[in-house]
């Protein structure tokens, strides 16, 4: 059965082509059938006045908890929640159980996602076997299985020689190495930003130096090998400075930041609030402002959710014993829209950080709004006011530090 939707007077945002105009658009059977005035009426007609239509977001870090932790969530539950929130592509880290270190595991994840039929799932393959940090995984087999990059997740590598060999191997295959920069010796099992709040609460600290030392080591290896590294979930001003310096020297490095780091600081830990237990930790106000500046200037080219759904029990122990992470895929777009309302980004720049920036990191084609194109789109009302209630999240994980926040802007509908 044919289906068609005509959206009138909507603001079209397409960072790949620089398109930012108010127009009519006709969608028929998953394709753009007409742009501009004079379109035939669709079976469904929507008034897009005041709304935005843009390619749906690509999330560079979303743990879907399957395989291995289905008490927390599933591929089906999280891809449905993502699509409803305007996120059409999710990139999964390899730290599933079993680890995504073989083609068989990658194929299994892809099959589950296809069966769910919601947001598309892309997989980062494991850099080392079992993420143990020692023997390299069969990266060529992982590439053949369709991984979009390789990573050791939050697990450390045995030493810098393993890191160098991994970078050389990945470079030969044209794969980007995704790094979450945390020096294990300096982080030393900590759970909070090293500062006055952690000291007062008696929480084991994770100094900024843990991020900085790891970034410096990887940049040094990039200088030697020319391998491409993407630094995920930056948390500090000094980390952003190192990325900017490397980019100015034309090194092949990129970076993203989790949306919550742009709005929260370690002050959210007051009262031992386990919903604010995150890794990397929420840092100080100077770091938050530096990260926002790096996003605005394009040093950080992507904003992700760092989606980590948990069951309620994971957040009810004493703070150091709770599991880090927040259910973030449904707040990714609303927080990005808030950056527009606050004047940090234009709507087109917001779309760039949610779509084209992530697509470039994953070597995906840039989605372009043009006649005949078939691409996931999201219709956004940037004026819609609503309050986040944790219990109303579609994700199985209701763990969010933004419960009770007032938002202005929300996805109305995803077209796929």
Per-residue pLDDT, averaged over 75-90, amounts to: 98
Q: pLDDT per residue over 336-381, tens digit each?
A: 999 999 999 999 999 999 999 999 999 999 999 999 999 999 999 9
Q: Which residues belong to the active site?
A: 306
Residue 414 in domain? no
Residue 51 in domain? no
Helix (H, G, I), strand (E, B) or coil at 126: strand
Helix (H, G, I), strand (E, B) or coil at 244: helix
- Residue 183 belongs to a domain with what CATH number? 3.20.20.140
Q: What is the pLDDT of residue 149?
A: 98
Q: pLDDT per residue over 26-75, tens digit each?
A: 999 989 999 998 777 778 999 999 999 999 999 999 999 999 999 999 99
Q: What is the pLDDT of residue 39?
A: 78
Q: What is the pLDDT of residue 43?
A: 83
Q: What is the pLDDT of residue 38?
A: 78
The number of CA neighbours under 13 Å toward the Cβ of 257 is 33
Per-residue pLDDT, averaged over 235-243, amounts to: 98
Residue 379 in domain? no
Residue 374 in domain? no
- Average pLDDT for the chain: 97
Residue 245 in domain? yes
Instruction: For residue 358, give both structure tokens.
Output: 């992530």
Q: pLDDT per residue over 380-399, tens digit each?
A: 999 999 999 999 999 999 99
Residue 105 predicted with pLDDT over 50:
yes
Instruction: For residue 392, give both structure tokens.
Output: 């109303």
Please, which pLDDT band fits residue 237 given cuts at 50, 70 and 90? very high
Nearest-10 Cα torsion for 213, 219, 221, 225? 180
Give how far Cα 53 sits from Cα of 23, 38, 41, 284, 410, Å.
Answer: 10, 19, 18, 35, 12
What proportion of the chain, given as a percentage, has pLDDT over 90? Answer: 97
Residues spanned by the domain of 135: 56-368
Q: What is the pLDDT of residue 3?
A: 84
Give how far Cα 354 sits from Cα of 220, 293, 408, Å.
Answer: 29, 16, 18
Residue 10 in domain? no
End-to-end CA distance of the chain: 16
Residue 61 in domain? yes
Residue 335 in domain? yes
Total domains present in the chain: 1
What proportion of the chain, given as a percentage, has pLDDT over 70? Answer: 99
Q: pLDDT per residue over 302-313, tens digit each?
A: 999 999 999 999
Q: What is the pLDDT of residue 37?
A: 85
Collect all residues with Cβ–Cβ distance below 8 Å to 194 and sequence separation of at least 6: 205, 206, 207, 208
Residue 2 predicted with pLDDT over 90:
no
Residue 1 predicted with pLDDT over 50:
no
């Amino acid at each position: 059965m044919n289906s068609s939707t005509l959206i009138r007077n909507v603001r079209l945002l397409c960072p790949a082509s620089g398109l930012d105009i108010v127009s009519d658009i006709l969608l028929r059977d998953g394709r753009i059938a007409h742009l501009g005035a004079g379109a035939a009426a669709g079976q469904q007609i929507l008034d897009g006045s005041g709304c935005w239509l843009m390619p749906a977001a690509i999330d560079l870090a979303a743990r879907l908890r399957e395989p291995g932790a289905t008490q927390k969530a599933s591929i089906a539950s999280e891809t449905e929640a993502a699509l409803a929130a305007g996120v059409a592509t999710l990139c999964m880290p390899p730290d599933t159980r079993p680890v995504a270190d073989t083609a068989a595991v990658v194929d299994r994840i892809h099959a589950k996602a296809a069966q769910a039929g919601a947001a598309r799932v892309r997989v980062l393959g494991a850099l080392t076997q079992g993420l143990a940090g020692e023997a390299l995984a069969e990266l060529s087999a992982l590439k053949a299985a369709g991984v979009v990059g390789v990573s050791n997740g939050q697990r450390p590598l045995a030493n810098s020689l393993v890191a160098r060999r991994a970078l050389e191997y990945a470079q030969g295959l044209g794969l980007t190495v995704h790094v979450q920069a945390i020096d294990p010796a300096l982080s030393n099992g900590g759970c909070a930003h090293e500062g006055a709040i952690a000291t007062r609460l008696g929480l084991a600290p994770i100094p900024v130096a843990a991020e900085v030392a790891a970034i410096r080591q990887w940049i040094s290896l990039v200088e030697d090998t020319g391998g491409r590294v993407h630094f995920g979930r930056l948390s500090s001003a000094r980390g952003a400075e190192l990325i900017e310096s490397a980019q100015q020297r034309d090194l092949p490095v990129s970076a993203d930041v989790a949306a919550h780091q742009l709005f929260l600081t370690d002050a959210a830990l007051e009262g031992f609030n386990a919903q604010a237990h995150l890794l990397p930790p929420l840092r100080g106000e100077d770091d938050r402002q530096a990260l926002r500046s790096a996003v605005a200037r394009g040093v950080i080219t992507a904003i992700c959710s760092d989606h980590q759904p948990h069951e309620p029990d994971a957040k009810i122990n004493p703070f150091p014993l709770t599991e880090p992470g927040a259910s973030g895929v449904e707040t990714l777009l609303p927080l990005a829209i808030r950056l527009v309302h606050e004047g940090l980004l234009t709507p087109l720049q917001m779309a760039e950080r949610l779509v084209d920036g992530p697509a470039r990191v994953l070597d995906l084609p840039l989605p372009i709004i043009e006649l005949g194109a078939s691409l996931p789109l999201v219709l956004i009302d940037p004026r819609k006011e609503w309050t986040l209630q944790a219990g109303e999240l579609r994700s199985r994980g209701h763990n969010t530090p933004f419960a009770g926040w007032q938002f202005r802007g929300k996805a109305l509908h995803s077209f796929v």
